[in-house]
Chain A
Amino acid sequence: DAGVIQSPRHEVTEMGQEVTLRCKPISGHNSLFWYRQTMMRGLELLIYFNNNVPIDDSGMPEDRFSAKMPNASFSTLKIQPSEPRDSAVYFCASSLALGGRDNSPLHFGNGTRLTVT
Protein backbone atom coordinates (compact mmCIF):
# COMPACT_ATOMS: atom_id res chain seq x y z
CA ASP A 1 0.00 0.00 0.00
CA ALA A 2 1.66 3.22 -1.17
CA GLY A 3 -0.44 5.44 1.05
CA VAL A 4 -1.96 8.74 -0.02
CA ILE A 5 0.16 10.31 -2.74
CA GLN A 6 0.31 14.05 -3.25
CA SER A 7 2.09 16.01 -5.94
CA PRO A 8 4.01 18.17 -6.16
CA ARG A 9 5.80 18.15 -2.78
CA HIS A 10 6.79 21.78 -3.21
CA GLU A 11 5.32 24.49 -5.41
CA VAL A 12 6.61 28.03 -5.75
CA THR A 13 4.61 30.37 -7.92
CA GLU A 14 3.99 34.03 -8.49
CA MET A 15 0.91 35.86 -7.40
CA GLY A 16 -1.85 35.62 -9.99
CA GLN A 17 -0.81 32.26 -11.36
CA GLU A 18 -2.98 29.17 -11.34
CA VAL A 19 -1.92 26.39 -9.00
CA THR A 20 -3.12 22.78 -9.18
CA LEU A 21 -2.46 20.31 -6.38
CA ARG A 22 -3.01 16.62 -6.96
CA CYS A 23 -3.95 13.70 -4.75
CA LYS A 24 -4.25 9.96 -5.20
CA PRO A 25 -6.11 8.38 -2.25
CA ILE A 26 -5.54 4.88 -0.93
CA SER A 27 -7.24 2.34 -3.14
CA GLY A 28 -10.62 1.32 -1.74
CA HIS A 29 -11.05 4.42 0.41
CA ASN A 30 -14.38 6.13 -0.19
CA SER A 31 -13.77 9.48 1.45
CA LEU A 32 -11.25 12.16 0.57
CA PHE A 33 -10.40 15.32 2.45
CA TRP A 34 -8.39 18.45 1.65
CA TYR A 35 -6.81 20.33 4.56
CA ARG A 36 -4.68 23.46 4.76
CA GLN A 37 -2.10 23.95 7.52
CA THR A 38 -0.64 27.30 8.56
CA MET A 39 1.07 28.53 11.69
CA MET A 40 -1.66 31.07 12.34
CA ARG A 41 -4.77 28.94 11.83
CA GLY A 42 -3.50 25.39 12.32
CA LEU A 43 -5.20 22.61 10.35
CA GLU A 44 -8.31 23.69 8.47
CA LEU A 45 -10.68 21.39 6.58
CA LEU A 46 -11.33 22.86 3.15
CA ILE A 47 -13.59 20.28 1.53
CA TYR A 48 -14.39 16.59 1.64
CA PHE A 49 -15.83 14.07 -0.77
CA ASN A 50 -17.66 10.81 -0.27
CA ASN A 51 -17.85 8.42 -3.23
CA ASN A 52 -16.46 11.23 -5.44
CA VAL A 53 -19.27 13.62 -4.48
CA PRO A 54 -18.47 16.84 -2.57
CA ILE A 55 -20.22 16.70 0.79
CA ASP A 56 -19.10 19.85 2.55
CA ASP A 57 -17.13 22.68 0.97
CA SER A 58 -17.89 25.26 3.64
CA GLY A 59 -14.20 25.47 4.48
CA MET A 60 -13.14 26.62 1.04
CA PRO A 61 -11.97 30.17 1.69
CA GLU A 62 -13.00 31.89 -1.53
CA ASP A 63 -14.23 31.34 -5.04
CA ARG A 64 -10.60 31.26 -6.10
CA PHE A 65 -10.45 27.76 -4.64
CA SER A 66 -12.05 24.79 -6.34
CA ALA A 67 -11.75 21.03 -5.91
CA LYS A 68 -12.75 18.11 -8.07
CA MET A 69 -12.78 14.37 -7.80
CA PRO A 70 -13.43 12.97 -11.27
CA ASN A 71 -12.94 9.37 -10.15
CA ALA A 72 -12.20 7.30 -7.07
CA SER A 73 -8.45 7.48 -7.53
CA PHE A 74 -7.78 11.14 -8.21
CA SER A 75 -8.60 14.58 -6.86
CA THR A 76 -7.35 18.09 -7.54
CA LEU A 77 -7.39 21.33 -5.59
CA LYS A 78 -7.03 24.40 -7.78
CA ILE A 79 -6.32 27.98 -6.80
CA GLN A 80 -6.88 30.59 -9.49
CA PRO A 81 -5.57 33.25 -9.17
CA SER A 82 -3.16 32.52 -6.34
CA GLU A 83 -2.25 35.10 -3.70
CA PRO A 84 0.61 35.28 -1.15
CA ARG A 85 -1.82 34.56 1.69
CA ASP A 86 -2.52 31.16 0.13
CA SER A 87 0.99 30.07 1.12
CA ALA A 88 0.59 27.01 3.33
CA VAL A 89 0.98 23.26 3.41
CA TYR A 90 -1.97 21.52 1.77
CA PHE A 91 -2.77 17.98 2.86
CA CYS A 92 -4.93 15.39 1.25
CA ALA A 93 -6.31 12.55 3.38
CA SER A 94 -8.50 9.56 2.69
CA SER A 95 -10.51 7.13 4.80
CA LEU A 96 -12.51 3.96 4.36
CA ALA A 97 -15.81 5.36 5.43
CA LEU A 98 -17.61 8.58 6.15
CA GLY A 99 -19.47 8.49 9.40
CA GLY A 100 -20.65 5.26 10.89
CA ARG A 101 -19.71 3.65 14.18
CA ASP A 102 -16.15 2.89 13.19
CA ASN A 103 -15.25 6.40 12.16
CA SER A 104 -12.35 5.14 10.10
CA PRO A 105 -9.22 7.14 10.74
CA LEU A 106 -7.76 9.46 8.17
CA HIS A 107 -4.62 8.57 6.26
CA PHE A 108 -2.69 11.66 5.28
CA GLY A 109 -0.36 12.32 2.41
CA ASN A 110 2.93 14.12 2.99
CA GLY A 111 1.49 17.41 1.82
CA THR A 112 2.29 20.05 -0.77
CA ARG A 113 4.15 23.09 0.49
CA LEU A 114 2.86 26.05 -1.53
CA THR A 115 4.70 29.36 -1.63
CA VAL A 116 3.12 32.24 -3.51
CA THR A 117 5.44 35.22 -4.01
Chain B
Amino acid sequence: AQSVTQLDSQVPVFEEAPVELRCNYSSSVSVYLFWYVQYPNQGLQLLLKYLSGSTLVKGINGFEAEFNKSQTSFHLRKPSVHISDTAEYFCAVSGYSGGSNYKLTFGKGTLLTVNP
Protein backbone atom coordinates (compact mmCIF):
# COMPACT_ATOMS: atom_id res chain seq x y z
CA ALA B 1 0.00 0.00 0.00
CA GLN B 2 1.14 3.53 -0.61
CA SER B 3 0.03 6.87 0.75
CA VAL B 4 0.80 10.55 0.45
CA THR B 5 0.58 13.17 3.17
CA GLN B 6 0.58 16.85 2.38
CA LEU B 7 1.23 18.49 5.70
CA ASP B 8 -0.39 21.85 4.98
CA SER B 9 -3.86 22.25 3.55
CA GLN B 10 -3.37 25.98 2.98
CA VAL B 11 -0.25 28.13 2.57
CA PRO B 12 -0.66 31.91 2.27
CA VAL B 13 2.39 33.89 1.18
CA PHE B 14 3.19 37.33 -0.13
CA GLU B 15 4.27 37.93 -3.70
CA GLU B 16 8.03 37.48 -4.31
CA ALA B 17 8.46 35.49 -1.10
CA PRO B 18 9.88 31.95 -1.17
CA VAL B 19 7.56 29.02 -0.60
CA GLU B 20 7.86 25.36 0.33
CA LEU B 21 4.97 22.91 0.07
CA ARG B 22 5.60 19.75 2.03
CA CYS B 23 4.92 16.20 0.96
CA ASN B 24 5.70 12.89 2.66
CA TYR B 25 4.95 9.49 1.23
CA SER B 26 4.97 5.86 2.23
CA SER B 27 5.36 2.88 -0.05
CA SER B 28 6.63 -0.65 0.14
CA VAL B 29 8.22 -0.53 -3.31
CA SER B 30 10.34 1.84 -5.33
CA VAL B 31 8.39 4.93 -6.17
CA TYR B 32 8.00 7.61 -8.71
CA LEU B 33 6.93 11.00 -7.40
CA PHE B 34 5.00 13.83 -8.99
CA TRP B 35 3.68 17.29 -8.31
CA TYR B 36 0.57 18.45 -10.14
CA VAL B 37 -1.02 21.91 -10.12
CA GLN B 38 -4.70 22.70 -10.45
CA TYR B 39 -5.83 26.19 -11.39
CA PRO B 40 -9.46 27.17 -10.67
CA ASN B 41 -12.03 25.35 -12.79
CA GLN B 42 -9.37 23.30 -14.55
CA GLY B 43 -7.96 19.81 -14.42
CA LEU B 44 -4.58 18.95 -12.96
CA GLN B 45 -1.38 19.64 -14.90
CA LEU B 46 1.98 18.02 -14.35
CA LEU B 47 4.45 20.37 -12.67
CA LEU B 48 7.42 18.01 -12.31
CA LYS B 49 8.30 14.40 -11.72
CA TYR B 50 11.01 12.29 -10.14
CA LEU B 51 11.68 8.92 -11.74
CA SER B 52 15.36 8.29 -10.98
CA GLY B 53 18.75 9.98 -11.04
CA SER B 54 19.36 13.42 -9.56
CA THR B 55 17.30 14.00 -6.46
CA LEU B 56 16.73 17.66 -7.35
CA VAL B 57 14.09 17.96 -10.02
CA LYS B 58 13.20 21.13 -11.88
CA GLY B 59 9.76 21.73 -13.29
CA ILE B 60 7.77 24.37 -15.08
CA ASN B 61 7.16 27.91 -13.84
CA GLY B 62 10.36 27.96 -11.75
CA PHE B 63 9.34 25.22 -9.34
CA GLU B 64 11.69 22.51 -8.11
CA ALA B 65 11.43 19.58 -5.73
CA GLU B 66 13.92 17.44 -3.88
CA PHE B 67 13.54 13.72 -3.35
CA ASN B 68 14.79 12.62 0.06
CA LYS B 69 14.63 8.85 0.38
CA SER B 70 15.70 8.70 4.04
CA GLN B 71 12.99 11.14 5.06
CA THR B 72 10.49 9.85 2.48
CA SER B 73 9.81 13.39 1.42
CA PHE B 74 9.37 15.25 -1.85
CA HIS B 75 8.94 18.91 -0.93
CA LEU B 76 8.14 21.50 -3.59
CA ARG B 77 9.88 24.88 -3.57
CA LYS B 78 9.98 28.14 -5.44
CA PRO B 79 12.37 30.97 -4.50
CA SER B 80 10.00 33.79 -5.48
CA VAL B 81 6.29 33.35 -6.11
CA HIS B 82 3.93 35.34 -8.31
CA ILE B 83 0.24 36.09 -8.00
CA SER B 84 -0.31 33.69 -10.90
CA ASP B 85 1.06 30.79 -8.80
CA THR B 86 -2.13 30.85 -6.74
CA ALA B 87 -3.54 27.36 -7.22
CA GLU B 88 -3.93 23.99 -5.54
CA TYR B 89 -0.89 21.74 -5.61
CA PHE B 90 -1.05 17.96 -5.39
CA CYS B 91 1.74 15.57 -4.54
CA ALA B 92 1.37 12.06 -5.97
CA VAL B 93 3.20 8.76 -5.69
CA SER B 94 3.25 5.89 -8.13
CA GLY B 95 4.39 2.50 -6.89
CA TYR B 96 5.79 0.28 -9.61
CA SER B 97 5.70 -3.36 -8.62
CA GLY B 98 6.29 -4.92 -11.99
CA GLY B 99 4.00 -6.20 -14.67
CA SER B 100 1.09 -3.90 -15.34
CA ASN B 101 0.31 -3.03 -11.74
CA TYR B 102 0.25 0.74 -11.50
CA LYS B 103 -1.66 3.10 -9.28
CA LEU B 104 -1.14 6.81 -8.81
CA THR B 105 -2.11 7.98 -5.32
CA PHE B 106 -2.68 11.68 -4.73
CA GLY B 107 -2.36 13.70 -1.55
CA LYS B 108 -5.25 15.88 -0.44
CA GLY B 109 -3.70 19.00 -1.90
CA THR B 110 -2.26 22.28 -0.63
CA LEU B 111 -3.92 25.53 -1.56
CA LEU B 112 -1.25 28.14 -2.25
CA THR B 113 -2.54 31.69 -2.07
CA VAL B 114 -0.17 34.44 -3.16
CA ASN B 115 -1.13 37.85 -1.86
CA PRO B 116 0.09 41.21 -3.24
Fill in one digit per residue for B14-51: 1 if any A CB lies within 8 Å of its CB, else 0: 00000000000000000010101000011111100101
* Cβ–Cβ contact A103 & B42, under 8 A: no
A-B contacts at CB below 8 angstroms, number: 56
Residues of A within 8 A of B (CB): 4, 33, 42-43, 45, 50, 55-56, 91, 93, 98-103, 105-111
- Chain B residue nearest to A97 in the complex (CB): B102
Q: Which B residues are in CB contact (< 8 Å) with A91?
A: 43-44
Q: How far is the CA of A91 from the CA of B45 in the complex (A)?
A: 12
CB<8 Å pairs between A and B, sample of 24: A42-B107, A42-B108, A43-B108, A45-B105, A50-B100, A55-B100, A91-B43, A91-B44, A98-B100, A98-B102, A99-B99, A99-B100, A99-B102, A100-B96, A101-B51, A103-B96, A105-B49, A106-B36, A106-B44, A106-B46, A108-B44, A109-B43, A110-B42, A111-B43
The smallest C-beta distance from B89 to any residue of chain A, in angstroms, reads 12
B101 at the interface (CB under 8 A from A): yes
* Cβ–Cβ contact A105 & B46, under 8 A: yes
Further contacts, 10 of them, CB under 8 A, given A42-B108, A98-B102, A105-B49: A42-B107, A43-B106, A56-B103, A91-B44, A99-B101, A99-B102, A103-B94, A106-B36, A108-B44, A109-B43
Enumerate B56-112 residues with CB–CB distance to A below 8 Å.
90, 94, 96, 99-109
Residues of B within 8 A of A (CB): 32, 34, 36, 41-46, 49, 51, 90, 94, 96, 99-109
* Cβ–Cβ contact A108 & B43, under 8 A: yes
Q: 7 shortest A-B CB distances, which residue pairs?
A: A108-B43, A99-B102, A42-B108, A105-B46, A43-B106, A103-B32, A108-B44
Q: Which A residues are in CB contact (< 8 Å) with B44?
A: 43, 91, 93, 106, 108
Q: How far is the CA of A55 from the CA of B104 in the complex (A)?
A: 13
Q: How far is the CA of A74 from the CA of B102 in the complex (A)?
A: 21
Q: How far is the CA of A100 from the CA of B96 in the complex (A)?
A: 7
